Amino acid sequence: MSVVTISEGSHSKGKEVAEKVAERLGYSCVSRDLLLESSEQFKTPEFLMIRGIHDSPYGFERFSSGKEKYVAYIRVAILRRLREDNVVYHGLAGHHFVRGIGHVLKVRIIADLKDRIQEEMSKKNASPEQARIVIEKNDEAKRNWGLHLYGIDVRDAQLYDMTLRIRKLRVNEVVDLIVHTLASPRFRTTPESKKKMDDLWLAAEVEAGLVEVFPRAKTEVDGGNVTVSIEGPAEATERITEKARRLLEHLTAVRELRVAVNPTR
């Protein structure tokens, strides 16, 4: 059992690679449908979920609760599916949320700009210059998003286990390399890596449950034992603690909840 995340720039064949890897392995392949799940669960229009990932990290702040709310919801949906194992995830932010999980193979697919321009031209009936501008704008938006939220550059090869270039290598050859690599014992799910994934998922559920009221709450999870740190006035400790407990009472995976209120200055 294992998980594959596939990241790419636009028109780099990542979706095709993801679908073929999933077919070869008998895994489920998920992407945009996770936005729909988040949209329905948290009653947030899907277009806002999409903009929460793709828009400029600064322009998005005009929406209530800022960008963090939509990212929290998407993070929950992604981790909820990835913890099931035997999944290929292609699309938004997957590799950001599973750093340090041993049974996840993180792949970056790249392609030459001229090939990507040709793809955009054929799909949108655009001129070469129009296609180039669209691609470069999309790439820069994704890069700014990663830098703004996590302080990382999505183009940094150190974020991935494999970076594969579609050109001399064709799609089927890239699929072969991914499937071969995934056969290594180091990418198999272990009890330890499963616990890490479960802890990440539960932390995401907790923070999504709190984000409307406590958008800057920080969570630590250890096997169902949850510690939430919230900033607030010392005199409001009891009220904040009770409110947090009510917001999280639906999470049956929480065995023990500790709320730490850090006094604001």
pLDDT at 196: 96
- Residues written for the chain: 265
What is the structure's pLDDT at 38? Answer: 58
- pLDDT(118) > 60: yes
pTM for the model: 0.84
28-42, 98-112, 249-263: lowest mean pLDDT where?
A: 28-42
- Tokens linked to 228: 């939430």
Residues 243, 247, 251, CA angle at the centre, nearest 5°?
140
pLDDT, mean of residues 82-103: 89
Residue 88: per-residue pLDDT: 96
Give me the DSSP letters along 48-113: HHHHHHHS-TTGGGGSTTHHHHHHHHHHHHHHHHHTTSSEEEESSSGGGGGTT-TTEEEEEEEE-H
**Is residue 51 predicted with pLDDT exceeding 60?**
no
Which pLDDT score is estimated for 198?
Answer: 97
Average pLDDT over residues 41-56: 56
Q: pLDDT (tens digit, 9 = 90+) per residue, 174-207?
A: 999 999 999 999 999 999 999 999 999 999 999 9
Average pLDDT for 209-225: 93
Amino acid at 168: K
What pLDDT does 60 receive? 47
Average pLDDT along the chain = 86
Q: Which of 56-65, 108-117, 185-194 has the highest mean pLDDT?
A: 185-194
CA distance 71 to 207: 11
Whole-number pLDDT of residue 10: 81
- Annotate the chain with DSSP letters as a single string: --EEEEEE-TTSSHHHHHHHHHHHHT-EEESTHHHHHHHHHTT--HHHHHHHHHS-TTGGGGSTTHHHHHHHHHHHHHHHHHTTSSEEEESSSGGGGGTT-TTEEEEEEEE-HHHHHHHHHHHHT--HHHHHHHHHHHHHHHHHHHHHHHS--TT-GGG-SEEEEETTB-HHHHHHHHHHHHTSGGGS--HHHHHHHHHHHHHHHHHHHHTTT-TT-EEEEETTEEEEEEEE-GGGHHHHHHHHHHHHTT-TT-SEEEEEEEEP-
State pLDDT tens for residues 226-240: 999 999 998 999 999
The residue whose two tokens read 């009510």 is 246
36-65 average pLDDT score? 55
- d(CA 222, CA 46) in angstroms, rounded, equals 32
pLDDT at 19 over 90: yes
Which pLDDT score, from 0 to 100, does residue 65 have?
A: 53
